[in-house]
Amino acid sequence: MDLIPKPDQVVSAASNVAHKVFYGGLADLRPMPRTLIDDGMLREVYHYRPSGKVKEQGDPVLLVTPLAAPALCYDLRRGCSLVEHLVGEGRPTYLVEYGQVSFRDRALGMEHWVDEVIPAAIREVSAHAGGRPVHVVGWSLGGIFAMLTAADSPELPIGSLTVVGSPVDVKQVPLVAPLRPLLNLTDGRGGITRTYQALGGAPKPLVRWAFQLSSFQKLVTKPVAVATHLDDTDFLAQLEAVDRFTDNMIAYPGRTFGQLYHRFVKGNALVSGAMELGDRTISLADITAPVLVFGGATDGIAPAPAVKAVVPLLSGARDVRFEIVPGGHLGMLTGRRARTSTWQVLDEWVAQWSSDAEGVPTPAAKKTSKKAPAKKASTKKAPGKKASAAKKAPAKKTPAKKKPAKKTASAEAIGANPSRRYGSGGSRALSR
């Protein structure tokens, strides 16, 4: 709103205030319809039902939620929901979440998620989608769990891996870096350790407070932001959705919280590229699937340098791309600007690394996929012809199919698009 509001701004502001007072809010918080296809201990795998307007086709995407955060991170509100976007594009979309964590789960460690929950979800999604490879997307701690799983179980049917805002070098996190020397003074016998052991983990109020502290400046200036955006319906709706997300934080299990605290916060374990878990050492260099890494331009929880630190550690991956996109920790995933940045890059990436039967490719790939069926049809029509003629058709098809694929990969390589408006560190710059 202008300092002296215009008549149309006054009308819009009055309408928004009235709608909030009489209807309780402006955001469309209806969840996307989904069906439970698998469950287990702290594991629920859902398939989002396809839209009636678009046919579901192509390789599936599995969204991996982090601990403590609700699955709302992927389905924040209508119009700013990654799930809604993927379903609308016809992409088979799945999600794994963990339900409510209680005191009885205090003995569960990270092994439970890396050894059981995420591998089981990947296998179930692949089977449900007809045996297709799965494109795994993990936000925050969900990205770290996904990377550890992919490194520890390279036989899983993973088509690609996308990591969104997952800090690997904790020294680069402003909220944590100044405290690390003090935390290490107690040698594991400090008040934080005794507290989480007594509580059986990190309770929901503490998790919610920590998330709000990470964006303390926004929390303080929120009343001013609301007052100056009373005429902006989309802005106010986004605030409502974020508030609901924060109110639904989930507790951390005791042993898992202890591992995260001692190994990540105090020990900065992953910065070396390897971490001991259970009876073995997991190395990120063992990841073979292509990996896309997102860093948020204004992320206070996982700043871009803390996230980018993983890139040189992925030496075994088929391809590694790094992108800096607008937004903070949650905003980069499902903020208003994510619709024209993060989501578009993700679409390109999944299409690039999808199987040959992909049905949701980039425009260039779509032309290729349309030509292929026509040639197959001509091959089928000639069963009575000579064997030499039948063999010639596939030979002509193979090079024609390969050339567009190469053009798509090079011309639309993520990080190499000169028309992209947001900051980007492409794979070409990673070797420098």
- The SS3 call for residue 294 is strand
| Mean per-residue pLDDT of the chain | 76
Cα–Cα distances (Å) from 292 to 253, 255, 262, 324, in that order, read 29, 30, 27, 11
Residue with tokens 């490879």: 133
Provide the residue range defining the domain that includes 406. 364-411
Region 138-154: mean pLDDT is 95
More confident residue, 183 or 271: 271
The answer as to whether 316 is a domain residue is yes
* DSSP label of 186: G
| In a shared domain, residues 392 and 294 | no
Region 13-32: mean pLDDT is 80
The answer as to whether 211 is a domain residue is no
Answer yes or no: is pLDDT of 118 > 90. yes
Neighbour count for residue 108 (Cβ, 10 Å): 21
| In a shared domain, residues 374 and 340 | no
Region 140-169: mean pLDDT is 96
Q: Are 83 and 32 in contact (CB under 8 A)?
A: yes
Q: Are 337 and 326 in contact (CB under 8 A)?
A: yes
- The pLDDT value recorded for residue 187 is 52
Answer yes or no: is pLDDT of 72 > 70. yes
Percent of the chain whose predicted confidence (pLDDT) is above 90:
46
The answer as to whether 165 is a domain residue is yes
Region 386-402: mean pLDDT is 42
As a whole number of angstroms, the distance between CA 409 and CA 253 comes to 42
The answer as to whether 196 is a domain residue is yes
- The pLDDT value recorded for residue 109 is 85
359-374 tens-digit pLDDT = 444 333 333 344 444 4
The answer as to whether 295 is a domain residue is yes
Neighbour count for residue 64 (Cβ, 10 Å): 30
The answer as to whether 2 is a domain residue is no
Region 238-263: mean pLDDT is 79
As a whole number of angstroms, the distance between CA 217 and CA 224 comes to 12
Q: Are 133 and 147 in contact (CB under 8 A)?
A: no
Percent of the chain whose predicted confidence (pLDDT) is above 70:
66
- The pLDDT value recorded for residue 52 is 80
- The pLDDT value recorded for residue 213 is 52
Domain count, the chain: 2
345-362 tens-digit pLDDT = 999 999 999 986 454 443
User: For 30-85, where are the E strands, in sequence order?
Assistant: 34-40, 43-48, 61-64
As a whole number of angstroms, the distance between CA 35 and CA 25 comes to 27
Answer yes or no: is pLDDT of 88 > 50. yes
| In a shared domain, residues 182 and 284 | yes
Residue with tokens 């350790």: 193
The two structure tokens encoding residue 173: 């996190």
The two structure tokens encoding residue 206: 């503490």
Q: Are 225 and 44 in contact (CB under 8 A)?
A: no
More confident residue, 16 or 297: 297
Region 127-155: mean pLDDT is 96
pLDDT category at 413 given cuts 50, 70, 90 is very low
Cα–Cα distances (Å) from 62 to 39, 132, 135, 209, in that order, read 15, 12, 6, 29
> Which residues make beta-bridge pairs with 163?
138, 293
Q: How far does CA 48 lie from the centroid of its chain?
A: 16
| In a shared domain, residues 265 and 373 | no
